Amino acid sequence: METTGFWPALGEADRGKVAELAVRRSYRRGDVVCREGDRAAVVVLLLSGHVRITNATSDGREIVIAVRGAGDVVGELGAIDGGPRSATVAALDDLDALVLPAARFAALCRREAAISWALLLVLADRLRDIGRQRLDVGGGTITRRVAAQLMQLAVQHGVRRGDDIVIAIPGTQAELATTAAVSRESWARVTRELRRLGVLSTARGQVVIHRFAELSRLAR
C-alpha cells in the first residue's frame, strides 16, 4: 500500500525531530496497540503494516470502523485532549512503528509549527473523507465500516493477481453485514456503488479489489 498520512507530510528535518523522541517497535499480527477506554499514554506512527480500529458495542460486539496503514498516526487525539482511547487498535499484519510518549508528542506539536500543521492536515483530510463518503456513496460511517471490513479481508486473506487483489469471502452477505454492524441492504448498497465506481467487482464467493488506494481512502 502506498504510504500516506502524517509521516510523508513531514520534511526530513521534522521526521528527525519526531524520530529522536520515539522508540522503534515491532508488533505481531493480532497484537493490541491500544485499547478503547485506556489512558492515552503513547502516540504510534505506522512505518509498515496495517491496523484495524474497532469499537465495542453495548452488547459486546466488536465493530471495525477503520483500517490504517503505513504513514498514518494513531492515538493522536488522546495526546491532544488528554482523553481516554476512543477505540481499540490492533495489528492486522506485522507492524513496524515509532512509539512516542503522548506528552512528548503534544509538546513537540506545540513547539514545532510544521509538525502541528502536518497533523492538522491529516485530521482535516479524515473529516473531508467522511463528507465525501456521504456524498459519493450515501453511507457515511456505513461506507467506512464496509470499506474497512473489505480492507481487513484483503490484508488477511487477499491474493495478488497483477494489480488486483482477490478475496475469497468467508461467509454470506448477511454474515458480512452483521460483522460490519450494518443491515444486509446497506452492505449490498455500498458494494453496489463500489462496483459502479470501479473500486471492486464481485462474483460468487469472491470480491476482486481493483482500486486498493480508493478503498483504503474510504476505510480511513
Q: What is the pLDDT of residues 48-82, one digit of tens each?
A: 988 888 888 777 777 777 788 889 999 998 888 88
Which position has the grid cell 460486539?
A: 61
Residue 93: its pLDDT value, please?
Answer: 86
- Per-residue pLDDT at 154 exceeds 80: yes
pTM attached to this predicted model: 0.68
Q: Cα–Cα distance between 87 and 64 in angstroms, integer? A: 10
Q: For the segment 6-57, what is each residue's pLDDT rounded down to a tens digit?
A: 999 999 999 999 999 999 999 998 899 999 999 889 999 999 988 888 888 7
Distances (CA, A) of 165 to 100, 201, 206: 34, 11, 10
Residue 82: its pLDDT value, please?
Answer: 87
Question: Residue 43 in contact with residue 75, Cβ under 8 Å?
Answer: yes
Q: Is the dihedral of CA 216, 188, 65, 49 positive or negative?
A: negative
Residue 197: name the closest of 182, 206, 184, 210 by CA.
Answer: 210
**Residue 95 one-letter amino acid:** L
Helix and strand element counts for the chain (H, E): 9, 12
**Residue 109 one-letter amino acid:** C
Orientation angle between helical segments 113-136 and 102-111, nearest 10 degrees: 100
- The model's confidence at residue 135, banded by pLDDT at 50, 70 and 90, is very low
Residue 200: is it exposed, middle or buried by C-beta count within 10 angstroms (0-12/13-18/19+)? Answer: buried
